[in-house]
């Protein structure tokens, strides 16, 4: 049974990674940044002010100034995009069994993703995306740490000990 569970988790991880890579780096985007010099590109595709984008979307939802699909897709999408990573990362890397280790790992991972999107001009460097992705990952980590999850997965750490939060 453990082999079946492990196979299901491995297949699920691949099924999660493929659309994640597509969404982050391969999906067609209208390239409004093409032809801009680098400094103009940096200025128009960078948000380092926390909650600026989030507040804009919430305000647009309240006052109806934007098609509701856009803020919902961006807010919920960024929140849900890395939620599964909160389960998969500590599953595959047994050392990440404390919240501080998880947060440190996610900061590095999300920074690399945001930087790659920025450098390849496949997205913007937005601190609000980073915040929402981190919240989603933390929700996933909370799910991972639940005793029920540990029991269902029959998780065993590298030392062979049962790993229960």
User: Over the stretch 131-144, which tens digit does the pLDDT of each residue have?
Assistant: 999 999 999 999 99
* Residue 34 backbone zone (phi > 0: left; psi -120 to 50: alpha; other: beta): beta
Q: Is residue 159 part of a domain?
A: no
- On whether residue 130 sits in a domain, the answer given is yes
> Residue 78 has what pLDDT?
95
Residue 32 in domain: yes
Q: How many domains are contained in the chain?
A: 1
- Check residue 28 and give its pLDDT: 65
Residue 149, in any domain of the structure:
yes
Q: Are 144 and 97 in contact (CB under 8 A)?
A: no
Q: For residue 31, is it left (φ>0), alpha (ψ between -120 and 50) or beta?
A: beta
Q: Is residue 164 assigned to a domain?
A: no
37-55 pLDDT, tens digit each = 878 888 888 999 999 999 9
Residue 6 lies in a domain: yes
Instruction: Please check whether residue 84 is in contact with residue 106, taking contact to mean a CB–CB distance below 8 angstroms.
Output: no
Residue 160 forms part of a structural domain: no
* SS3 assignment, position 156: strand
Give the structural domain span for 84: 2-153
Q: Comparing 155 with 143, which gets the higher pLDDT?
A: 143
Do 122 and 25 meet the contact criterion of CB atoms below 8 Å apart? yes
Above 80 in pLDDT, residue 152?
Answer: no
Q: Please check whether residue 100 lies inside any domain of the structure.
A: yes
pLDDT bucket at 34, cuts 50 / 70 / 90:
low
What is the per-residue pLDDT across 81-106, written as a single tens digit (0 to 9) for each?
999 999 999 999 988 889 999 999 99
**Mean pLDDT on 70-88:** 95
């Amino acid at each position: 049974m453990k082999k079946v569970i492990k196979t299901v988790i491995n297949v699920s991880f691949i099924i999660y990674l493929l659309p994640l890579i597509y969404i982050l780096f391969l999906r067609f985007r209208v390239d409004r940044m093409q032809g801009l010099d680098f400094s103009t590109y940096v200025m128009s595709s960078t948000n380092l002010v926390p909650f600026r984008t989030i507040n804009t979307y919430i305000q647009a939802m309240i006052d109806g100034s934007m098609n509701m699909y856009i803020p919902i897709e961006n807010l919920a999408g960024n929140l849900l995009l890395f939620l599964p990573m909160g389960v998969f990362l500590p599953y595959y890397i047994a050392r990440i069994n404390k919240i501080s280790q998880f947060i440190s790992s996610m900061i590095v991972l999300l920074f690399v993703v945001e930087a790659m999107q920025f450098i390849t001009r496949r997205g913007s460097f937005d601190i609000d995306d980073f915040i929402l992705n981190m919240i989603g990952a933390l929700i996933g980590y909370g799910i991972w740490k639940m005793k029920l999850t540990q029991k269902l997965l029959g998780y065993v750490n590298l030392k062979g000990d049962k790993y229960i939060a």
